[in-house]
Structure 1
Amino acid sequence: MENSISTQRVASHPKLLVLGATGGTGRLIVAQAISRGYDVTILARNAERAKGLEGAKLVIGDALDETALRSALEGQDAVISALGTPASPFRAVTLLSAASKVLVAAMQDQGVKKLVAITGMGAGKSRGHGGFVFDRLIMPLLLRKVYADKNRQEDVIRTSGLDWVIVRPSVLNDKPPRGSVRALLDLEGFNGGTIARADVADFVLDQVESDAFKGKTPLVTW
């Protein structure tokens, strides 16, 4: 089901689907994408959650809803996944990897090749580079199960055959953007860091437009 909350469309604009658009970083991605001239589609459970995202086309559904996802994906040039999940100290987390499986299959079927996904510092080989508090307290006590699923999510994307970039932000904050980030592939000597959501959004959109980090997993930080 589609509900247009868009204003005007320009057919020549690149078409972008954003998942996780109603989250803190996702909202900034949508706003910045529209300002760059993208024709943006978002997937959300209802119109209430999409308030403030005017300028994007809304498809009602969630990331596990294969029918809605395929509808949202039709005609797109690229996808950004900013999906997140709350801390879950006790229950297993499966949303991120399960949604990524649905997304990858749909992208493969529809011939959409470009995927930029946000996971986080602590996923994959970035584990152990979050600094003492993150690595010794926050990760084991609050985020262990979330990051187990982020690792599964990354595996799904890495073996997808798509033109993918996995972006791992350091600890997110809502400070004003600095307009520049460090994108690290070699984490030797790096331990912890923070970054504004707005700077992450800007970097992620840059990856839609560039192949500089195709097939790579940059950690982004200040």
Structure 2
Amino acid sequence: MTTSATQIPITATPKIVVLGATGPTGRHIVSQAVSRGYDVTVLVRSSEKGADLKGAKIVVGDARDEKALRQAIRGRDAVISALGTPASPISEVTLLSAASRALVDSMKAENVSRLVTITGIGAGDSKGHGGFLFDKLIYPLLLRKVYADKNRQEAIVKSSDLDWTIVRPSILNNKRGDKTVRTLTDLSDFHGGTISREDVATFILDQITSNEWLRKTPFIT
């Protein structure tokens, strides 16, 4: 654990917690982490949902519940949040910000500082760089309320004193990863792009033992 932005000491076998582990990206994160030999704990809403997450320890609970979060986080080195929420064209979305608020408080209470969280293209200053279809149709019609909550999520994480990295992937696909990830911080000439969930998972796990993107918001495609 560290409160410095210069070094991330992690044990030889990282002990990680994955939130959103039953989602399509979360499953890649868990399987790759287990294959790397990591000690993996997942927080899931029911034991049935996590039954096929082979090699991971299961903690049952809601990601907005500090008691469940602290149980999952206790004694861990780092937390990965791959939480997502469905499109919501009408109803307000609060899951991501509520869970992030509870997570930050729980990590502080358990003295765990390393957090890698996923938001997406359209969050923060990446808005308007998803390509015509995403920016003009999908975002305003289906995802506007989701991204309002992703922005609140990012603000909560950034205002914490945790050793955070916020990863913003381009539009996700389910293709096989090709291990080539382009990382950007300046999107002025970028519009569109896709990336496989498998490659996102690889990039996310690489951040656990790296300080290259500490307290930064890399965009990957």
Q: Same fold (TM over 0.5)?
A: yes
Does the residue aligned with 2:84 lie in a helix, a strand or coil? coil
Identity of aligned residues (%): 63
Choose between structure 1 and 2 for higher RCO, CA contacts under 8 A separated by at least 6 residues.
2
1:5 aligned partner: none
Deviations 1:10-43 (A, max 9, x none): x962200000000000000000011111100000
* TM-score, length-scaled by structure 1: 0.93
How many pairs does the alignment contain?
211
2:144 aligned partner: 144
1:113 aligned partner: 113
Q: Which amino acid aligns with 1:203?
A: F
Deviation at 1:67, TM superposition (A): 1.1
Deviation at 1:134, TM superposition (A): 0.4
Q: 1:100 and 2:100 equivalent? A: yes
Mapped to 2, the partners of 1:145 and 1:48 lie a distance apart of: 30
Mapped to 1, the partners of 2:184 and 2:98 lie a distance apart of: 28
Q: Which amino acid aligns with 2:47?
A: A
Q: 1:128 and 2:128 equivalent? A: yes
Unaligned runs of 5+ in 1: 1-10
Mapped to 1, the partners of 2:67 and 2:161 lie a distance apart of: 22
Unaligned runs of 5+ in 2: 1-10
Q: 1:68 and 2:68 equivalent? A: yes
Q: 1:202 to 1:12 in 2, by over 3 A?
A: closer
Q: 1:157 and 2:157 equivalent? A: yes
Deviation at 1:59, TM superposition (A): 0.3
Mapped to 1, the partners of 2:107 and 2:184 lie a distance apart of: 28
Over aligned residue pairs, what C-alpha RMSD do you find?
1.0
Does the residue aligned with 1:191 lie in a helix, a strand or coil? coil
Mapped to 2, the partners of 1:165 and 1:69 lie a distance apart of: 19
Deviations 1:84-134 (A, max 9, x none): 000000000000000000000011111101000000000000000001100
Deviations 1:144-181 (A, max 9, x none): 00000000000000011110000001110000101120
* TM-score, length-scaled by structure 2: 0.94
1:7 aligned partner: none
2:204 aligned partner: 204
Deviations 1:169-195 (A, max 9, x none): 111000010112001111110001100
Deviations 1:21-78 (A, max 9, x none): 0000000000001111110000001111113201000001010122111100100000
Q: 1:19 and 2:19 equivalent? A: yes
Mapped to 1, the partners of 2:12 and 2:194 lie a distance apart of: 37
Does the residue aligned with 2:125 lie in a helix, a strand or coil? helix
Mapped to 2, the partners of 1:160 and 1:65 lie a distance apart of: 18
Does the residue aligned with 1:205 lie in a helix, a strand or coil? helix
Mapped to 1, the partners of 2:68 and 2:29 lie a distance apart of: 21
4+ aligned runs moved over 3 Å, structure 1? none
